[in-house]
Every structure is written in structure tokens, then in C-alpha cells.
A and B are shown apart, each in its own frame.
Chain A
Amino acid sequence: MNCQRVQKALSDYSDGLLTPTKTEEIREHLVSCVPCRARCQSFQNMLSGLHTLPPIAPSTDFDLRLQRRLHEISAERSPRKHSNWLTPLYRVLIPSMVGLVLLISAAAYLSYHPQQLTLPSVANSVRLDPEENPHRVMEQPGQTQSQPLLADFLSSQDVQPSESTNYVLYTVSYDNNGALVGF
């Protein structure tokens, strides 16, 4: 092993990272080569200097400053902890409230507009195309055509109800001027 290779390997040699064979080669070289031996000694002195650098103690207010900052962070975290505790409750409560409001709204709507949702049963209704049957059934303005009048209406139209036919009765509402206001 030549001097250049020994110098390059000094770092690994000092850390014991070389194979036993290479380590032995370097040892042999150092025994016979004075400049490399001096260089190796100088290298060891430097490492020794690095390893013995004195530890640096923190200043007297180091702990106090750190404690203050940690307390600030803890204080920031406290409200978050509170909200974290409530989060599962909110997860159940908010959808429940939304559902309840929707139910109440639907119930209120039904109670105010019952006739618009009273669709007749399909089996006893008649399908009337407005173009082919331009008749409008209207008892009184503002009133609604409903299922009990179906039989009368069919007979007035000379239609014999058949069990094999599906009838659809459209329930409509008109205002006092005869304009369509509900369906």
C-alpha cells in the first residue's frame, strides 16, 4: 500500500471500518513509513481534539424561556381539546337536527297542501289526453276534481271502466279566473 492510499484511508482506519486485511496493510505501512506515521498521529490528535470539545451548557434563562413557550402552546391547545371532546357529539347532533327540520318542513307542507298530493289510485283512474279530450272537469272555481267523481266523469264521457285498463286521474285546481294553480 502506498502513502497516498494510506492517507485516504486514515478516516476509515480510525473508525475501524476497514477489513482486517486492509487494516493490517496500513499498520505495516505505518511501521515502515515515517511521514505517514506522523500524518496518522496528527490525524489522531485532530480526532482527539474533536472528541474532547467541551460540552456547551445552556444559558441561565434557557429553561425559563422554554417553559414560557411551552405554556403558551399548552394554552393554545386547551380550547382545541375542548372542541375535540365535543366533535363526536356534533357529528351526531348536526345531521339529526337537519333531519328533524326537514321532517317538520315536510309535515307542515303536507298539512297546508293536502289536495296536491292526493293522487288517485291507478286502478280506478282514467287517462285523458288534453288534446283528444279537451274537456275540463270543474265543479266550481277553486275546487278540486277528486276520485269520488271518477265514476260520474267516466259515464259523462261514455267510457266504460275496464279492469284491464290502467287509468290515471290528474287532479287539478283552478283559481277564480280559471287559471291552473295546482296539479
Chain B
Amino acid sequence: MIPDLDDELMQRCQAGDIQAFDELVTRHRVSLLSFASRVVGDRETAEDLVQETFIRMFRAIPRYKVGKAKFTTWMYRILSNLCKNELRNRGRRSQIVTKSPPENGQNDYQQIISRIPAAASSHPDCQLERKELHAMIEQAISELPPKYRIPLALRDIQDLSYEEIAKIVKIPMGTVKSRINRARQTLQERLKPYLEAET
């Protein structure tokens, strides 16, 4: 197996070249942060999780075996697990803090929709701005259950293959496909008025 650039950098790290780790950070920090932000829905927490991912990678340099697994699979597995733990802990915290429904009975997603001018959703000629669509998509993603959210983000935001996602999330490929399918259908259902306005 020919080592890719990431593996070469890891080999340099193992040889004591600290500069090589900086290169790894520079190569992956944006994609990791983009993934984590969409999964946890909060940039500050996402930055902490990405930092923790790099710390764990740094600590694991002596144990890293080139060619055993793809570098990005290993890297995303660390971050996915951190995101999963964060969401689980957040769920516990929110259960403890409050169980009261949001004001006027709407969830965040519905509140965002309500702030968009009515014409945007009802008038067929009015195209929703791309930026607004992105905001809607991000909000809709953050409301998916974590078990759908992570595979969807890995596939449609990070553009990873189904095979790699299966290795990262450690579930069979058929399950990955069905979860991504379900996540996409849920998103499409929630964003229906705006997606149709785009056509």
C-alpha cells in the first residue's frame, strides 16, 4: 500500500518532525470544523472538539501504524465519537435543565421559518436566497437524530464514500445507506416549500 500524503506526514511526525503535524492541522482543520459545526450545531463547541481531535491524534503519533487504516477514516472516527459524546451529554443536560416546551410551542426550525417573509415560501416566483437556504439546511440538520446526522454530514458535506463512512461510524454499509436515505428524505420533507421555490 503506497502511503498518501497524510501518512507521509505522520511518518515524519514519528521521526520527530513537529512541523509535519502543523501541516496536518492546516490540511484538515477547515473540513473537520465544517463537519463538527454541522453535527453539533455550535461553532464554539465544534472548535473545542476539533482541538481535542488534534490533541488525540498528536498523542497517538507513536502508536499510529501507516497503512493499517486510511488516515482520514481514523481522524473522522475520533471526531465523530467526540461529537456523539457531546450530543449525548447535551441530551442529558437538557433533560435535567428543562423539559418545558419552547415559547409559543414552536421548535427552533419552526421559529426560523416563521421569521422568513411569507412571500418567500408562498410566492412561486420568489427564490429563496442561497444563504437563507443554507441556514435552513443547517438548522434542519441539527434537528436530525445524531445517528442520521453524522452519516449525512460525512456523505453530503464531507463527500466521503459509503465504505469509508461505514468504517468511521462502525456500522454495516447497508445501515449507512438506509440512514443517509432516511436523513435525506427527512430533510427534503422539512425543506419542501423552499426547495420547490428554488426550482
Which residues of A are at the interface with B, using a C-beta cutoff of 8 A?
A: 7-8, 10-12, 15, 17, 38, 41-43, 45-47, 49-59, 62-63, 65-66, 69-70, 73-74
Contact = CB atoms under 8 A, between A and B. Distances in A.
B197 to A, nearest CB: 9
B181 A51 contact: no
B25 A66 contact: yes
Q: Which 9 A-B pairs have the closest CB atoms?
A: A11-B181, A50-B156, A42-B195, A56-B34, A45-B195, A45-B198, A55-B34, A56-B37, A56-B33
Given A46-B187, A66-B51, A69-B55, A55 B134 contact: no
Contact of A53 (B46, B137, B187, B192): B137
B184 A43 contact: yes
Nearest to B138: A53
A56 B30 contact: yes
Contacts of B159: 51
Interface in B163-199: 177, 180-181, 184-185, 187-188, 191-192, 195-196, 198-199
- Main SS of chain B's interface residues? helix
A45 to B, nearest CB: 5
A165 B187 CA distance: 103
Interface of B: 18, 21, 25, 29-31, 33-34, 37-38, 43, 46-47, 50-51, 54-55, 58-59, 130, 133-134, 137-138, 152, 156-157, 159, 162, 177, 180-181, 184-185, 187-188, 191-192, 195-196, 198-199
A45 B54 contact: no
Most chain B CB atoms below 10 A, which of A8, A43, A66 = A66
A56 B29 CA distance: 9
B157 A53 contact: yes
Given A46-B187, A47-B184, A62 B55 contact: no
Contacts of B37: 56
A47 B199 contact: no
Contacts of B25: 63, 66
Nearest to A61: B47
B38 A53 contact: yes
A52 B134 contact: yes
Contacts of B195: 42-43, 45-46, 49
Contact of B29 (A41, A51, A54, A58): A58
Contact of A55 (B31, B47, B50, B133): B31
Given A50-B152, A51-B159, A53-B134, 6 more contacts: A10-B184, A11-B177, A46-B188, A53-B157, A70-B21, A73-B55
A42 B47 contact: no
B97 to A, nearest CB: 27
B27 to A, nearest CB: 13
A8 B177 CA distance: 12
A42 B31 CA distance: 26
B130 A42 contact: no
A57 B134 contact: no
A11 B184 contact: yes
B66 to A, nearest CB: 21
A58 B134 contact: no
Contacts of A47: 156, 184
Contact of A41 (B47, B180, B199): B199
Nearest to B31: A55
Given A69-B55, A70-B58, A49 B177 contact: no
Contacts of B199: 38, 41-42, 45
A141 to B, nearest CB: 71
